[in-house]
Amino acid sequence: MLDENVKSKIESSINGNRVMLFMKGEKSEPMCGFSAQVIHILNSYGVDFNSENVLADWDLREGIKEFSSWPTIPQLYVDGKFIGGCDIVMELHRKGELEPILKV
């Protein structure tokens, strides 16, 4: 069961940032290829986004998976809505469907 403190931290990050990426590593130094790919895609749109390094917090790393019912990281949220992991973000980007989601 998801710890209430972890849930509150996740909700605060999602609700406090229009575009929020839960990833492995930092924006400037991703620690996995999937996180790096999502950062590259987001940067290609020039979108401002915040991120949370799940490697720095085991409870957050496991908690975000339970919160979203999605087993992998990275996880992208836009306007409080779960968009998906790397595969979904890449597919939306390829189809030209990601830009309208990211643009205000």
Residue 86 has pLDDT above 90, yes or no: yes
Q: Which residues are bridge partners to 20 per DSSP?
A: 50, 77
Q: Are 71 and 62 a contacting pair, CB within 8 Å?
A: no
Element of type H or E holding 53: strand 50-53
Q: What is the CATH number of the domain that holds 14?
A: 3.40.30.10
Amino acid code (one letter) for 42: L
pLDDT, the chain, mean: 97
- Domain membership of residue 46 as a residue range: 4-102
pLDDT for 30: 97
pLDDT for 1: 86
Q: Are 55 and 32 a contacting pair, CB within 8 Å?
A: no
Please count the structural domains in the chain.
1
CA pair distance 89, 41, nearest whole angstrom: 8
Read off the pLDDT of each residue in 33-51 and give the average, rounded to a whole number: 97
SS3 19: strand
Peptide bond into 74 cis (omega under 30): yes
pLDDT for 38: 98
Which residue, 14, 23, 40, 26, is CA-closest to 93? 40
